[in-house]
Amino acid sequence: MMTIIGFIRHGRTSWNEEGREQGKCDIALNEVGVRGAHQLAKRITSETWDVVYSSPLVRARQTAEIIGEYTGLPIYLDSRISEVGSGLIEGTTEEERVRKWGTNWRELDLGIESNNKVLTRGLAFIKEVCDINRKKNILVVSHGSFIEQILEVLTPHYKITEPLNNTSITTLKKNKNEWDCILYNCTKHLKTT
């Protein structure tokens, strides 16, 4: 038996629909997000998972709690898997950022958490959780930017071709000292009624 991690991006929020940068802002799931989390949770009941870790941000925590309602799995909150801090751009749309800081806003120091900080906390979490849950199936409910940065390091040979959808599951399997991506951005549960 091998260690498996299922990364879940939280359910949809009103800010997702408006194209607003969420970062560390505590935005709750909207109706679509709650429905998607229920569809995901139903799917998970037909799979084998042992434990759920969640970002404490409300949109991830709500998604994890819905999974817990269906599965009875224990849920542990860990701030190391919170979304990338977006500094001054939190709450803004791309159009608002361009209006305020210009088209080169990405080149400015707007207080966005560095990739190095994100990876330091994220990889420390992965190591600790895998040591505690050796040869178990671990669900991690987190956020799009955070998960994508972690995937780039854990599976450098896997080419990410599209951004993660809300309530998607991406599954990694550990083979010796290497992670393989065996499922990416899967939302088949959203296609069921």
Report the distance separating Cα 136 and Cα 38, nearest Å: 23
Q: Is 157 annotated as a binding residue?
A: no
Strand segments, DSSP code E, in the chain are 4-9, 51-54, 75-77, 137-142, 169-175, 178-186
Q: Is 14 annotated in some ligand binding site?
A: yes
166 annotated to bind ligand: no
Measured N-to-C along each axis, helices 31-45 and 58-71 cross at an angle, to the nearest 10 degrees, of 40
Q: Contact, 83 vs 23, CB < 8 A?
A: yes
Q: Is 97 annotated as a binding residue?
A: no
Q: Is residue 13 a known part of a binding site?
A: yes
| Identity at 95, one-letter amino acid code | E
For 120, the enclosing helix (H) or strand (E) is helix 115-132
Which residue of the set 21, 38, 83, 113 is catalytic? 83
According to the annotation, is 12 in a ligand binding site? yes
Per the annotation, the verdict on 83 as an active-site residue is yes
In total, the chain counts a number of residues equal to 193
Residue 79, marked binder: no
Residue 96 is a catalytic residue: no
User: Residue 132 burial by CB count (10 A; 0-12/13-18/19+): exposed, middle or buried?
Assistant: exposed
Q: Known binder of ligand: residue 104?
A: no
Residue 167 counted as an annotated binding residue: no
Q: Which residues are annotated binding-site positions?
A: 9-16, 59
Q: Which residues are annotated binding-site positions for substrate?
A: 9-16, 59
The residues that are catalytic are 10, 83
